Amino acid sequence: MKLLRYLTAATALLAGSARAAGNETIFREKIAPLLSKHCVSCHGAKGQSELSLTTFNEALHGGKRGPALVPGNSKSSLLVAYMRGDQSPRMPLGSTLDDAVWKEIASAVDSMKAEAVAARNPRLDWIFQKPATPAVPEVKRQDWVKNPIDAFVLAKLETKNMAPAARAGKRALLRRVYFNLIGLPPSPAEVEEFEADASADALEKVIDKLLGDERYGERWGRHWLDLVRFAESDGFAIDGERPTAWRYRDYVIRAFNKDKPYDEFIKEQLAGDEGMRGRRAAGEPSEGLLAVGFLRMGPWEADANFDNQLRLDFLNEAAGTTSQVFLGLTAGCARCHDHKYDPISQRDFYRLQAFFAATRIDDRPAAWVKAEDPVTMRRRMRQYEDELDEAGAKFKELEQTLRWKYAAANALKEGDKQIDEFQKALNDKKNATYTAEERSHYEALRDRTRQVTELLARHQPKAYAVAEVAPPDILEVAPTFVLGGGQLSAKGEQVEPGFLSAIAGKEEPAKLPFVGRYRSGRRTALADWIASPSNPLTARVMVNRIWQHHFGEGIVRTPSDFGLNGDRPSHPELLDWLAAQFVEKKWSLKAMHKLLLLSNTWQQATAHSEAARYSEADPDNRLLWRMNWLRLEGESIRDSILSVSGRLQPARGGPGVFFEISPDLAQGFSFFKWWPSEEKERLRRSVYHFQRRSVMNPMMEVFDGANMSESCARRGATTVPPQAFTLWNGELTHTEAKHFARRVIELAGPDPDRQVDRAFQLALSRAPEVAERTQARNLYAGRQPEDALARLGVVLFNLNEFVYLE
Amino acid sequence: MNADILRRRFLYQSLTGAGSMALSSMLEGATAAKPHHEAKAKSCIFLTMLGGVSQMDTFDPKPALDKFDNTVMDWSKEKLTDQVGLFAKPRLILKSPYTFKKHGQCGRDVSDLFPHVAECVDDLAFVRSVQGENGNHPAAIFFMNTGHVLPGRPSVGAWTTFGLGTENQNLPGFVVLPDFRSLPFSGSQQWGAGFLPASFQGMMMRWKGEPILDLRPPEAVTKTDADDQLTLLRALNARHAKDNLTNPDLQARIDAYELAYRMQATVPGVLDVDKEDPRLREMYGLNDPVTESFGKRCLMARQLVEKGVRFVQLYTPAQSWDSHTDLIGGHTKNARETDRPIAALLKDLKQRGLLDSTLVVWIGEFGRTPDNLAEQREKPGRDHNTKAMTMWFAGGGVKGGALVGTTDELGWKAVEQIYSMRDVHATILHLMGLNHVKLTYYHGGRNMRLTDTAGVVIKEVLS
C-alpha cells in the first residue's frame, strides 16, 4: 500500500502540479451522488473518524486514516478499500452495499488524472500567504495601549470581557529584563538605581544598556545554538571532537551582539562561503566560513560502514534542519513519504535536499577574526606546538627506556619482534617488569601528549565548514533522486533544486545565481529565497521565536512546526504585524526586543485579581491576560549562582571549557578522555561549556538542557526529584554558598541583620521581610556567621523565587 | 483541556500523591485511572540486550546453516530496507559456532552460550518471530523503547508508570540501570517521559558508589545543617507560594524537594547489596569481575521490585551484542556477562515468590543474519536483521515453557506466528493490567498510544 502510494505520487508528480480541473467534475458528477446516498450521513457534517466526504477537497484531504481518495488510483483510495472490504470494518457500517456501487466509484476514481500536490488543509492557508500588515485594532481602553502589540492583545481580551493584569512591580520587571536579555540577575546597586529612577523611560534606559552589553549575545546566542543542534563532537559511538566548532558558537554570539540583520545571518549560515558573500561580511573574510558550520552541526557517524548512507544522512539532516529552523516546517517528515499532514511532497523534500548536492564537508583554513584576538591565538598555537614537541620527545624517550627494560628482563635483543609486547606488560598491572611509578609516569606523559595534541587542534585557524564541489572541477553536480522510503536502494525520479511548492506555488527548478567558478550557487539561491521579505514564513517564524523567549510561550506554541500538527497562533494578526515590523526594521532583533519589552502586555504582573475566573476560561493564558511564569534554564541557574557568589568569570569566547564530571561517568567513554579545565576557566558562563554530545553538564541535564542531537526550539520546564538532588546537594551549590557567605560578610560587615539583608538582595534583588529575616537568623544559632550564611546561600539558591521569574 | 495545562496539573498531582494513598485521586480524570483489567504482574524487569542478539546462536537452532555453511545466500528476491551496502557485496552463510541442547521439561533448545538461563527454560516463553521496522541501531532502540524511531516519545516504562502509578511513594516508579562503561545512544532520551508528565521518566541509578548522583549533601554538611536548611527552605517557599497562586509549578517543586528528601533516607536502605546473603551474591556473580556489573544490577532490580518499583530497565553496554565481525568473541563475552546474573534473578525471584507478580522481558533491538560479508571471513560475524528476532517473557501471567513462532530454514525471516515489536509492547501492557488501545494520552492533536495504530497481544505466551 505504502509502495503503491509512493509510486503513484512519483508518476503523478511527473505530470506536473496543476490540479486537474476535470477531477473535480468527475467527483461531483459521478462520485458525490453515490457518497451522498451511502456515506454522508456519517461522513458529512458529523465527520465520523474526522472524515467528511461532501466535497472533492475533503475526500482528498481525508480523515483520521489518511486521504480517502487518490485520483487515478482506486487501489490506493481508502474510500474504495473500505467499501470493498479490504479494510475493516467494511463500509457503510452495518449495511451491505451492492458491489456495483463501489465498482462505479472505483472506475470513476481511476478515470481521474493523477494529481501532484496533496490537498491542502484550509487551516494551513495562512502560513503560505505572505503576511499583510494588518490594521491595528480599535480598543476601548486606549490608555492601556503603549504600542500596537497591546492593541492586538487587548482587542482579543475585550471581546471576552477580560481585562489585562496590573503592571508588574519594579523589582519583578527589572529581574525579568535582566534574565530575558542577559540571563543574569541585576546587582543590588542596579536594583537600587532603577528603583530610584522615577522617570518614564527608566525601563527603556535599562533595556538599551543591556542590549549594548556583550552578555546579551551570550544569552541569545545560546537560544540560537539550541536551535541549530550545536555540539562540539560527532555523537554516535565514538563521539569524536570537532576541535574548532567553538568558533561557530562565537560567531553566533558576535552576530547577536552586533545585531546582524537576520536576513544576513540566514544567508551567511546557509551560503557564507559562496561567492563574494563571505568576504562582504564586515570586512572579516572568515565570518562566512565560520557561519556555514551551521550545516555541519548535526550528528555524524564517523565509523559508519557506508559512505553513501553517511552522505545521505548529512544531506537529509541539513535539509530537514534548514526547513525547521528557518521556515518552521517539518519537511524532514517527507523524506520517506509525502508529508502526512502538510502539503510537502516527498519530491519537494528531495528538491530541497538538492540545494545541498554540491556541498561537501570541509575543515577550511580561516584566519582569526579580530574578536578572536589573533595575537593570543597564534601565541598559544606556537606554545602548544613547542609543548607537544617537548612532551612528545620525552614520551618517546621514556618509551625507549621502558622498551629496553622489557628486553633486558626477557633476554630479548634488538630486532626481536617480541620487544613490542612491552606495551602489554605496561598495561598489565600485575606484570613485575615495571614498577607502579614507571607506569604512572608513562601514563602521565602519554596523557599530557594527548592533551596538548587536543589543545593544539583547538587553536588552529580553521573553520568547521563546508565547501562546494561543482563544475568545472567536476563534470556536473551529483544528481539528486527521490528515494523510495528514503532508501538509497530505491532511487526514483531525478530532481533539480527547487523551492517548497506549497510556498513557491510552482514546482519549477530554482534559478541559480552565478557566484563564481567552482561554485554551484545552489545554497545562495536557497538562502536568498528564505531570507526574503516575500517568503511568508521566515519573518513570522523568527518573530515567534523572539516572542517565545520573552513570554515563555510563542504566539504559535510549536515554534518549529507551523504546519497542521503544530499549534494555531493565538493572535494571528499580531504575528503578522510583528513579522511586517521585523522586515521594516531591517530584520533587527534588538529593535524587536525593545518593541516587545516596552509593551504593556509584557510588563503585566503574573498575578491577576480575576485569576480564578480567567483560569477557567483560558487556563493556558493564551489570551495573555497576565504574564507567564518563566523558569530559568539550567544555564541561567548555574550562571546566577556564580554571579551571586561573586565568582563568575567574565572571559568571553575561545575553546570550550571542560567542567567537572563524576568519575563513574568519566569512565564510560571508550574513545576519549575528559580533562576538566582549570578552576578559573570552569567558572565561566555555561554557554562556553564544551558541548560533547555524550557528556552533558549535570545541571543542564536535569534542568531540561537542549538535546544536542536535533534542533531544540523550546526547552522543557519539568519538575523532577533529580533537580533537587543536583541543586540541593551538589558540589556547585555548596562550594558557591561558601564564597557567597564570604562575599556577604565583606559587603555587609559584622551585623547579622545587615548580612541577611545583603544576602537576600544579592540573590533575590530584594530585602527580606521581617518574618523572613527572623527565620533566616535562626541559622546563626550555634554557627559562625560565615557558616550560617553558607547555609542561607544553599537555601536561597534553591528557592522557587530564585529559579522562577515572576 | 489543553495538553500542556493537563500535563502541569497532572505533574502537580502525581508529585503530591505519588503514593498508594492518593493513587486514585492522582489519576482522577486522566485517561488511565487504574488497571484496565486484573493485572498478572505488578512490576516489570526489562533486560535490554543492546546491539542485537543472534537468534541462531542462542535460542533458535538452525542445523541447515551447517549444511549451507560457506555457500552464497540468495538475497535477490528480498526487498532490503536496511544496510543495503552490506548486501551489495558477496556474502556467505555462516554456521553457528555454538552447540545446542534441549533443556527442561519443555525440551527447549538453548545453545551453550546460556548454560544458566538454560536451567530456567520451563519458566520462559520464547517468541522466535518478532520483527522490527528499522535496522539502524539508534532508530531500532528508540522503537523498542518507545514504539517510534525518533526521540521524543514516552518509553514503555514511562507508559506503564503513567498507567499504574507507583506503589512506593519514596521511590521513583521507573528506574533505569545502565552500564556506565557505555551508555545507550541518546542516553536519557531512551527512558524519557516524552509528552507524558515528566514525573514518569525513568530515573537512572548507578551500580557503583551512590546509586543516585548527589543523593546526599557533601560530607561537611551535618544532619543539623541539612535539617535547618530544609526548615528554612520550606518556610520561605511556602511564603512565596501563598502570594503566587497562578503558578502550580511552585507547589510541584516544593513536593519534589520533599520526595527527594524522603528518597535520601530510603534509597540507600533499599539498595544495600552488602546485606544480602553471600551465597546469593555469589549466585548473581558479584564476586567475578565479568558478571559483576550485570549481576549487581540484576540484584538491584530484584530489590527495587520488592519495594514496589513498577518498572526496572537494565541495559548491556551500548552496541555490546553488535557482532558484525568476531561473533565468537563478542557473543561469548556478552553471554558470559549476562547469563549467570539473569538466571540468578529468575531463580531468586521465584524462590521469594516474586516471579508470579513480576514480568521479566529479555529483548534486543533486532536479530541477526544467517550470513555475512565474504570479505570478513577471517573473524566472521552477522549483520542486522529486522525480519526475525528471538525474545522471551517470564514471570507473572506468562506461560512457562511456551514456544511461539517459527523462522525459515536459515533463521533469517519469521514465517509463522509473526509478531512485531508493537505486539511485544501490547503484551507487556496486557500482563501489567493495561489495555494498549485504551492507554492513551492526548498530545499534538490526537490520543497517542504506545502501540500507535497497531499491536495485538501475543496470546500464546499467556498462561
CA distance B32 to chain A (A): 21
* B2-25 residue pLDDT tens: 444 333 334 333 333 332 222 222
pLDDT at B169 over 50: yes
CA distance B37 to chain A (A): 26
pLDDT at B186 over 80: no
Secondary structure in 3-state letters for A326-394? HHCCCHHHHHCCCCCCCCCCHHHHHHHHHHHCCEEEEEEECCCCHHHCHHHHHHHHHHHHHHHHHHHHH
Contact B214 A730 (CB under 8 A): yes
The Cα A515–Cα A524 span in angstroms is 8
The Cα B145–Cα B141 span in angstroms is 6
Is there a domain that residue B75 lies in?
A: yes
Predicted pLDDT at B23: 29
Cβ-Cβ contacts under 8 Å for A663 (sequence gap 6 or more): none
Q: Which of A735, A783, A728, A789 is nearest to A762 (CA)?
A: A789
pLDDT at A652 over 90: yes
Least confident of A56-65, A374-383, A386-395, B391-400: A56-65
Q: For cell 526529584, name the residue.
A: A721
Please list every residue in chain A whose beta carbon sits closer than 8 Å to the beta carbon of residue B185: 236-237
Burial class (CB in 10 A: 0-12, 13-18, 19+), A438: middle
**Is residue B201 less than 8 Å (CB to CB) from chain A?**
yes
Is there a domain that residue B229 lies in?
A: no
CATH code of the domain covering residue B36: 3.40.720.10
The Cα A75–Cα A526 span in angstroms is 38
Contact B1 A619 (CB under 8 A): yes
The sign of the CA dihedral B23, B24, B27, B33 is positive
Are the C-beta atoms of A697 and A659 separated by less than 8 Å?
yes
Nearest to A665 among B151, B180, B324 (CB): B180
DSSP A27: I
Contact B85 A726 (CB under 8 A): no
Predicted pLDDT at A339: 79
Chain A residue whose CA is closest to B255: A721
**Is residue B86 less than 8 Å (CB to CB) from chain A?**
yes
Which of the four pLDDT bands, split at 50, 70 and 90, describes residue B245? confident
**Is residue A487 less than 8 Å (CB to CB) from chain B?**
yes
Question: What string of DSSP letters covers A628-660?
Answer: PPEEPPHHHHHHHHHHHHT--B----SSPB---
Phi, psi of A26 (to 5 degrees): -55, -45
Is there a domain that residue B444 lies in?
A: yes
Predicted pLDDT at B15: 35
Which of the four pLDDT bands, split at 50, 70 and 90, describes residue A288? very high
A295 vs A59, residue with greater confidence: A295
Predicted pLDDT at A335: 85
Distance from the Cα of residue B179 to its chain's centroid: 13
Nearest to A668 among B181, B236, B256 (CB): B181
Q: Which of B367, B376, B257 is nearest to B326 (CA)?
A: B376
Nearest to B182 among A565, A668, A794 (CB): A668
**Is residue B416 less than 8 Å (CB to CB) from chain A?**
no
Considering A565-569, A581-585, B175-179, B259-263, the range whose residues carry the highest mean pLDDT is: A581-585
**Is residue A491 less than 8 Å (CB to CB) from chain B?**
no
Structural Rg of chain A based on CA atoms: 31
Nearest to A726 among B214, B221, B253 (CB): B214
CA within 13 Å, CB half, B174: 24
Which of the four pLDDT bands, split at 50, 70 and 90, describes residue A458? very high
**Is residue A631 less than 8 Å (CB to CB) from chain B?**
yes
Is there a domain that residue B266 lies in?
A: no
Is there a domain that residue B224 lies in?
A: no
**Is residue A415 less than 8 Å (CB to CB) from chain B?**
no
**Is residue A734 less than 8 Å (CB to CB) from chain B?**
yes
Is there a domain that residue B217 lies in?
A: no
pLDDT at A19 over 70: no
The Cα B215–Cα B196 span in angstroms is 25
Nearest to A707 among B189, B249, B261 (CB): B189
Residues 96 to 135 of A: which have CB under 8 A from any B CB?
none
Q: For cell 626477557, name the residue.
A: A410
Please list every residue in chain A whose beta carbon sits closer than 8 Å to the beta carbon of residue B253: 719, 800, 803
Secondary structure in 3-state letters for A612-629? HHHHHHCCCCCCCCCCCC
Contact A719 B237 (CB under 8 A): no
Please list every residue in chain B whose beta carbon sits closer than 8 Å to the beta carbon of residue A430: none
Residues 297 to 356 of B: which have CB under 8 A from any A CB?
318-319, 324
Question: What is the residue type of A215?
Answer: R
* B390-415 residue pLDDT tens: 999 999 999 999 999 999 999 999 99
Least confident of A510-519, A583-592, A723-732, B53-62: A510-519
The Cα B203–Cα B173 span in angstroms is 8
**Is residue A717 less than 8 Å (CB to CB) from chain B?**
yes
Least confident of A738-752, B11-25, B41-55: B11-25
Predicted pLDDT at A119: 55
pLDDT at B281 over 90: yes
Phi, psi of A301 (to 5 degrees): -85, 90
Predicted pLDDT at A7: 35
Is there a domain that residue B253 lies in?
A: no
Are the C-beta atoms of B315 and B179 separated by less than 8 Å?
yes
Are the C-beta atoms of A109 and A69 separated by less than 8 Å?
yes
3-state secondary structure (DSSP) of residue A463:
strand
The Cα A480–Cα A511 span in angstroms is 16
CA distance A584 to chain B (A): 34
Which of the four pLDDT bands, split at 50, 70 and 90, describes residue B291? very high
Instruction: Report the share of chain B in percent with pLDDT over 90.
Output: 62
* Residue range B364-384: mean pLDDT, rounded: 91
Distance from the Cα of residue A370 to its chain's centroid: 27
**Is residue A694 less than 8 Å (CB to CB) from chain B?**
yes
Predicted pLDDT at A2: 38
3-state secondary structure (DSSP) of residue A182:
helix
Residues 292 to 321 of A: which have CB under 8 A from any B CB?
305-306, 308-309
Cβ-Cβ contacts under 8 Å for A216 (sequence gap 6 or more): A181, A182, A210, A256, A257
pLDDT at A515 over 90: no
pTM of the model: 0.80
By residue count, chain A amounts to 806
Predicted pLDDT at B2: 40
Please list every residue in chain B whose beta carbon sits closer than 8 Å to the beta carbon of residue A629: 244, 246-247, 249
Q: Which of A708, A723, A685 is nearest to A803 (CA)?
A: A723
| Domain interval for residue B7 | 3-211+271-461
Instruction: Report the share of chain A in percent with pLDDT over 70.
Output: 94
pLDDT at B444 over 70: no
Is there a domain that residue B251 lies in?
A: no
Contact A791 B216 (CB under 8 A): no
* B293-313 residue pLDDT tens: 999 999 999 999 999 999 999
Domains identified in chain B, total number: 1
Which of the four pLDDT bands, split at 50, 70 and 90, describes residue A21? low
By DSSP bridging, strand B440-443 and strand B311-315 are unpaired
Helix (H) or strand (E) holding A464: strand A462-468
Secondary structure in 3-state letters for chain B? CCHHHHHHHHHHHHHHCCCHHHHHHHCCCCCCCCCCCCCCCCEEEEEEECCCCCHHHCCCCCCHHHHHCCCCCCCCCCCCCCCHHHHHCCEEECCCCCCEEEECCCCEEEECCCCCHHHHHHHEEEECCEECCCCCHHHHHHHHHHCCCCCCCCCHHHHHHHHHCCCCCCCCCEEEECCCCCCCCCHHHHHCCCCCCHHHCCEECCCCCCCCCCCCCCCCCCHHHHHHHHHHHHHHHHHHHHHCCCCHHHHHHHHHHHHHHHHHHHHHHHCCHHHCCHHHHHHCCCCCHHHHHHHHHHHHHHHHHHCCCCEEEEECCCCCCCCCECHHHHHHHHHHHHHHHHHHHHHHHHHCCCHHHEEEEEEECCEECCEEEHHHCCCECCCEECCCCCEEEEECCECCCCEECEECCCCCCEEECCEEHHHHHHHHHHHCCCCCCCCEEEECCEEEECCCCCCCCCHHHEC
**Is residue B454 less than 8 Å (CB to CB) from chain A?**
no
Predicted pLDDT at B82: 59
